[in-house]
Amino acid sequence: MLVGEIMKNKGVGVIAVAPDQTMLEVLRLFRDNNIGFVVVSQSNDEYLGSLSERDCCNAVAEYGAEAAMMRVADVMNRNVATCSTGDLLPSVMGIMTQRRTRHVLVLDGGDVVGVVSIGDVVKHRLDEAQRTEQDLQDYICGTRYH
């Protein structure tokens, strides 16, 4: 399956924050939207980096309680894992494994169109396994095959 197909099913778009927002503001955004990853951007057509729950945890471990009031720009990841809408899902899984990340930014011609998360990968693989199981069941029972 292509990443673009996952984006069609999931929907395109990302939640972005400004680099001057505080980590506390972003953590509240995470909570309110039930997410764990945002793009850091000055404008709609450019991204500067990303911020994940792991980045926040690392900042707290390093800076203590003062991390909550730090600017996103001081904590964000500037080396964001990316893929394109034309990449195959196993390629994205490889990126996640190699980079030890749960989120990969999806680009289409240089434009940010979404994020593929480990949850999206698991959902796709689970759906695929269920389809295969149903196909095997149908084959064994002789249904849907003429």
Give 21-48 pLDDT, tens digit per residue: 999 999 999 999 999 999 999 876 678 9
Edge-first strand listing for the sheet containing 37-40: 16-17, 37-40, 49-52
Q: pLDDT value at position 136?
A: 83
Question: pLDDT 10s digit of each residue in the chain, 146 long?
Answer: 899 888 988 877 889 999 999 999 999 999 999 999 999 998 766 789 999 999 999 999 999 999 999 999 999 999 999 999 999 999 999 999 999 999 999 998 888 889 999 999 998 888 778 887 888 888 888 887 65
> pLDDT value at position 146?
57
pLDDT, position 45: 67
Question: CA torsion sign, 66 to 68 to 73 to 74?
Answer: positive
pLDDT value at residue 47? 87
pLDDT value at residue 145:
62
* DSSP character string of 54-79: HHHHHHHHHHGGGGGGSBHHHH-BSS
- Please report the pLDDT score of residue 131 as a whole number: 82
Cβ within 8 Å of residue 104, ≥6 positions away: 81, 82, 83, 92, 95, 96, 115, 116
Query: Hey, is 137 helix, strand or coil?
Result: helix
Give which of 47, 37, 53 is closest to 107, Cα–Cα. Answer: 47
Reported pTM:
0.84
